[in-house]
Structure 1
Amino acid sequence: MPMRSKPGKQPLILIVDDDEAHRKLFAEVVHSLGLRVAEAGSADEAWHRIADEHPGLILLDVRLPGKSGLEILPDLKKKYPDIPIILITAYGDVREAVEAMKIGAVDYLLKPVDLEELETVILDHVGRGEELATKSRLPPLPPHVVCVSAAFQKVLETAYLVAQSDAPVLILGPSGSGKEVVARLIRDWSSRREGPFVAANCAGLPESLIESELFGHVAGAFTGATADRMGYFRAAHGGTLFLDEIGELPLSVQAKLLRALETGEIIPVGSEKPVRTDFRLLAATNRNLEEFVKTGRFREDLYYRINVVELTVPPLKERREDILPLAEFFGRQFARQPVRFSPQAMAALLSYHWPGNVRQLRNAIQRACLLAQGNIILPEHLPPEVAALASSGHEATQECEEGRLSAVERATILSTLAECGGNRTLAARKLGISRRALIYKLKALEALSPPSGGDQSR
């Protein structure tokens, strides 16, 4: 048992529970860890204790007199974003717990609480408020965006920082990895959030009409131009212009784009009069623009003008923690109900290299939902190239011995946890490992509390 530290030298743990017996039991655990304790029996009392003592961690029961723990959680996180909150529920409703984690809880426990697990959770999170506040300054993500992996988290943290300015941003990454999702988040986090978001796919614009599409034209500028056309640049006035596949722009149009960025003016086709427009440029490409510059396919001056800030969205194979949360979201979307993946199907999804990235995953899950005609996804419902990687779950464990988790082990852990209603103690028993070992593996997965992700295929 850890030795107690001197009073006042350790963080304060606030226990919010209307059951006095539970409060006293939890308080003993906290005391045994050498930490200080405060108690509250209701939401109102909790608010007063937090304001007076600013605890280092809150154990928050769901069922409270008056307002419930779930009802006060968003307000608590808004007012005290640096205080970690652990949700405690007696009903074993994992959906409720996951929902709480999406709006701010850092962990959850199910009653009856395993006291050893309570100790572990407290030690995992106590004193981490300042670290968590500085580690990620992201606002709550919209429900259609998955960010479980550390790789994608870093991209979004940078995107949030650059969103505060009007500097051009160049978003790099393979096709289907989610470049437009990042671009839209930058707009949503910027001062131009109320303005238009105009997206143009440069690769999809006819070369003969690309200038007209981008810069507009006046009536009579060419055959068929019977009326004035505004164009994408003017349509984005006061907002954000997103040029996808910017590497496909012809050199002649690149020169016009450079002028627009430098002067804030465009000249519609068939006109000699410049038109001022106020826009913020976000550009994206899956091409190597540096190579394009060397070979003369892209203007060097334009490259440096649009590349004030560069973001690289990693391919899905480099952010595997996002695969299952994305698959679950797409499954709900296409099946119109929650779907479950068999351990073998999860193993296949995690093992496949996904050359088409999130877009390919989305298509694979759509196919699976059509073939399954229910809410259970099996390997045979997945595309053949993905289903071929399914396994019975009895692979060699060399990867695990080296400190990594095999795809099958990942799938087995997640499936067992789901079967046990989120109870990690019971899941550990079924898996034949210690509870602490399971918690360690869940940390490695970074998938204990995946948000309800969404379509990042653009």
Structure 2
Amino acid sequence: MSGTKLLIVDDERDLANLLVKRLSRKGYEVLSVGTAEDALALLKQHFFDIAIYDIRLPKMDGISLLKETKIMASETEIVMLTGHGTIETAIEAMKLGAFDYLTKPYNLSELELTIRKAEENKRLKAKNDSMKKIIKQQNQFMIIGESPIFKEVIDLTRRIADSAVPVLIEGESGTGKELFAKALHYWSRRSEEPFVAVNSGALPEQLLESELFGHVRGAFTGANQEKKGLVEAADAGTLFLDELGEMPLALQVKLLRFLELGEFRRVGDVRERKVKVRVVAATNRNMEIEVEKGNFREDLYYRLNVVKLTIPPLRNRKEDLPLLIQHFIEQKKSSEKVLSDDALLALHHYDFPGNVRELNHLIERGLLLSSGGRIEAVDLLVPRHKPEESQLNERGICTLEVVEKEHIAHVLKQVMWNKTKAADILGVSVRNLYRKIEQYGLKE
């Protein structure tokens, strides 16, 4: 049984009663009235998934009813019924938010098919709303992804967030290692305490030690006053050591001692200080190789590597592209923009050496360079996918007509043969689209 609630508004009572009987047998919950005024009264009391309005109604017409419905019940999908003389009005109704229209006399099977399309459209909208909720929930850390390989990392992050043990986060540049470090902090009971980050490769050795552990006055040239280090600043919270593989060997010894005892000395000081912090480190290097080369202490590596989070590169989770693209577009307050099929295909066939960070930059560039409501592949400036030579040999050299036919068929399928939407996507008039469908013999 469908369970979908339908509202039929048509002053031809015999036809309306026939529709109620037919659609009720199909499992729909159907109510029918003959005027727009009665319809508005029902809309105040009940929610309808789909409404079917005749354009020609006594007193208030179907177009006016459509406008009122969009104010009162914006989630209701509306199908307009029109005579041959009012097709232009029906097209105007589509611009006002109607899902589709049918011309009288219509086949009942055609109406049922349109209703099923409207149901599917509501399902896709609900899925899109769900994606938006996921983005909103994860927006604080921008950890966006529903692919199995990525969800495993998210789940592990949640499980270990409350622990005090050190965590090593590995992953290529741009995968979001710092975001996972923040998630470990903010998803834990330490969330109200400080999260302090230090880049191990950004400073020379002496300055890095001072930055990390602090110094006393006169400890070195330029140390004119006592300074608290980031270790102390992170007390009771989380200390994030980024670019761990860049840390000098001499400083690694002091870090190891701090991890084992929770004690440290400021540069130039003789007094031991104690703090309690959770240490999270990140690197884009293979630390086992760095240990073998003698660039990193083995004992420190194993002390930090109590739990390892490995962030997968974007090329290994391409199914997350739609969520990420939508997030970056909305983040830049450009939600009216969409990616063309060619642009999305170009991204799907791109390896993203810069990972999620690079995708963000590509979308930003696409928004800047695109005109109109769509971002095209050329706006992204990514290498276009080229088929293998064997594929070209199998398909042969296509004419423009073949390419056009395949593209129109693909768009029609994507919008479930909603010709008005397809025409809008293709950038042609509805009349021109009908000619092309007939020309190429395309069938639903």
State the TM-score, normalizing by the size of structure 2. 0.60
Aligned residues of 2:171 and 2:177 also touching (Cα < 8 A): yes
Counterpart CA distance in 1 for 2:22 and 2:233 is 62
Q: What corresponds to 2:209 in structure 1?
A: 211
Counterpart CA distance in 2 for 1:417 and 1:181 is 40
Whether 1:266 aligns to 2:264 is yes
Change in 2 beyond 3 A, CA 1:336/1:390: farther
**Aligned counterparts, 1:85-164, within 5 A:** 90=77, 114=116, 140-142=137-139, 144-164=142-162
Aligned residues of 2:370 and 2:379 also touching (Cα < 8 A): yes
How far off its partner does 1:387 sit?
4.1
Q: Summarize deviations over 1:392-442 as a string: whole Å, max 9, x none.
A: xxx8799xxxxxxxxx9xxx89x949973xxx6859x98xxxxxxxxxxxx
Percentage identity across aligned positions? 41
Aligned residues of 2:77 and 2:118 also touching (Cα < 8 A): no
Counterpart CA distance in 2 for 1:339 and 1:230 is 48
How far off its partner does 1:182 sit?
1.2
Q: What corresponds to 1:328 in structure 2?
A: 326
Aligned residues of 1:233 and 1:277 also touching (Cα < 8 A): yes
* 2:246 alignment partner AA: E
Change in 2 beyond 3 A, CA 1:426/1:390: farther
Aligned residues of 1:341 and 1:376 also touching (Cα < 8 A): yes
The partner residue of 2:298 within 297, 300, 303 is 300
* 1:241 alignment partner AA: L
Q: Which has the larger radius of gyration?
A: 2
How far off its partner does 1:330 sit?
2.2
Counterpart CA distance in 2 for 1:187 and 1:416 is 45
Counterpart CA distance in 2 for 1:68 and 1:166 is 52
Counterpart CA distance in 2 for 1:397 and 1:160 is 50
The partner residue of 1:232 within 230, 240, 264 is 230
Q: What corresponds to 2:384 in structure 1?
A: 388
RMSD: 4.6
How far off its partner does 1:325 sit?
2.5
Q: What corresponds to 1:361 in structure 2?
A: 359
* 2:77 alignment partner AA: A
* 2:354 alignment partner AA: G
Whether 1:344 aligns to 2:342 is yes
How far off its partner does 1:334 sit?
3.7
How far off its partner does 1:245 sit?
1.0
SS at match of 2:206: coil
Counterpart CA distance in 1 for 2:169 and 2:341 is 35
Q: Summarize deviations over 1:180-204 as a string: whole Å, max 9, x none.
A: 1111111111111111111111111
Q: Summarize deviations over 1:68-93 as a string: whole Å, max 9, x none.
A: 99xxxxxxxxxxxxxxxxxx85369x
How far off its partner does 1:306 sit?
0.7
Aligned residues of 1:170 and 1:308 also touching (Cα < 8 A): yes
Structure 1, unmatched stretches of 5+, are 1-12, 32-38, 40-62, 70-87, 93-110, 122-138, 399-407, 431-458
Aligned residues of 2:213 and 2:265 also touching (Cα < 8 A): yes
How far off its partner does 1:255 sit?
1.0
Q: Summarize deviations over 1:373-403 as a string: whole Å, max 9, x none.
A: 54421122122xx143389xxx8799xxxxx
Counterpart CA distance in 2 for 1:257 and 1:297 is 15
Counterpart CA distance in 2 for 1:115 and 1:141 is 32
Q: What corresponds to 1:289 in structure 2?
A: 287
Q: Summarize deviations over 1:33-52 as a string: whole Å, max 9, x none.
A: xxxxxx9xxxxxxxxxxxxx
Aligned residues of 1:114 and 1:425 also touching (Cα < 8 A): no
How far off its partner does 1:249 sit?
0.6
Change in 2 beyond 3 A, CA 1:165/1:66: farther
The partner residue of 2:175 within 173, 177, 185 is 177
State the TM-score, normalizing by the size of structure 1. 0.59
Change in 2 beyond 3 A, CA 1:388/1:18: closer
SS at match of 2:205: coil
